[in-house]
């Protein structure tokens, strides 16, 4: 079990502290809802968590199969609803992998792993989160 403490700092901003490591993240509301927009918003963290989870899960699979994914990149775009209630409706992701490090015969398995990361599996059914894989 992991514990995270959140302190509301005022001004629509929070400080999040990861108990095990002491790592700190600051969040603020986005500008379009009256926040400063000078840090990740809570929904930005959801998008970031998805991207990081996809590549981390893929890297663990790759490592078990003698492959190296260092240098891979993930880009995610957060799409918010325009109607109430305000919510994430889309998180399209592009994963760019080093073609020389990922043999063609293992790519399909690696992509399945990306689709089954814990964050992807935790998203609400109404969130469209397609993943595109690019090999360069």
Residue 114 is predicted with a pLDDT of 97
Residue 10 is predicted with a pLDDT of 96
Residue 71 is predicted with a pLDDT of 95
Q: What share of the chain is helix, strand, coil (3-state, %, to 5)?
A: 35, 30, 40
d(CA 58, CA 109): 10
Question: Which residues in the chain show pLDDT less than 50?
Answer: none
CB 19 within 8 A of CB 4: yes
Helical (H) or strand (E) element with 136: none
Tell if the pTM clears 0.75, that is, is over it.
Answer: yes
């Amino acid at each position: 079990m992991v514990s995270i403490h959140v302190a509301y700092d005022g001004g629509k901003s929070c400080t999040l502290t990861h108990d095990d490591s002491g790592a700190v993240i600051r969040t603020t509301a986005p500008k379009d809802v009256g926040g400063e927009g000078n840090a990740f918003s809570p929904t930005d963290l959801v998008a970031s968590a998805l991207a990081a989870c996809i590549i981390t899960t893929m890297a663990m699979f790759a490592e078990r199969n003698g492959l190296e994914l260092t240098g891979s990149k993930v880009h995610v775009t957060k799409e918010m609803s325009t109607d109430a209630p305000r919510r994430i409706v889309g998180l399209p992701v592009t994963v760019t992998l080093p073609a020389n490090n990922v043999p063609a015969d293992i790519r399909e398995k690696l992509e399945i792993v990306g689709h089954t990361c814990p964050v992807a599996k935790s998203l609400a059914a109404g969130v469209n989160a397609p993943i595109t894989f690019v090999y360069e």
